[in-house]
Amino acid sequence: MKSKLTAVALAAVVVAGTAATAVPASAATARTGPTRCHTADLKAGFATGEDARPEMGQSKKQTQAYVWFTNRSKRTCSLSGFAGVDMIGAQKSDGTWSLVRSSKKPVKMILERGATVDFSITLLPVARSTPQKEKFVPAKFLVTPPNETQHFTLKWPFGGQILKQDGATHPATYLNPVGL
């Protein structure tokens, strides 16, 4: 009987110690605001309204495409940082191009249930006459929300071609943070 009582008391101390270690009082009070949004909390797509469409028919300047995230969960959540974006090309020679980040500083975005936030992808379109090896023809975008590992697969709806700079140090096609 004494050994059972000792075992129960020891178990209670271990459980109590674990609970105190897992959620210290200072951490519980310091945690304010909603937790981050997970891929399962969101839906995503390209903004396709007339004022949001990239100017893919021109080749003299950069243009922007916008990807949106909508909170479809039943809770408020936050997004902060850069999405991950891999473009998959339509040509066999295109392969996959992982876009680099701009130097803009991210801000924390709070998304209530049903709220939407977007981010822009700056693109440098090229003329049809550009040599094939110098152009990337987008087909799909794999878009991963900030701090997540699961992605959305979005079909590129705008046509056109981008100057292929997937190996450049400072390419003219890049990502901006969520909310900016």
Q: Domain spans of the chain?
A: 1-32, 39-175
Render pLDDT for 127-150 as a digit per residue (tens, 0 to 9): 888 998 999 999 999 999 999 999
Predicted TM-score of the model (pTM): 0.81
The CATH number that domain 39-175 falls under is 2.60.40
Q: Which long-range contacts (CB under 8 A, 24 or more apart) does 50-58 make?
A: 53/158, 54/123, 54/125, 54/158, 54/160, 55/125, 56/123, 56/125, 56/158, 56/159, 56/160, 56/161, 57/125, 57/160, 58/125
Instruction: Compute the mean pLDDT over every residue in the chain, rounded to the nearest whole number.
Output: 86
Of 71, 124, 105, nearest in space to 178 by CA: 105
Task: Look at residue 31 in the predicted model and tell me its pLDDT.
Answer: 59
pLDDT confidence of 21, banded at 50, 70, 90? very low
Render pLDDT for 62-74 as a digit per residue (tens, 0 to 9): 999 999 999 999 9
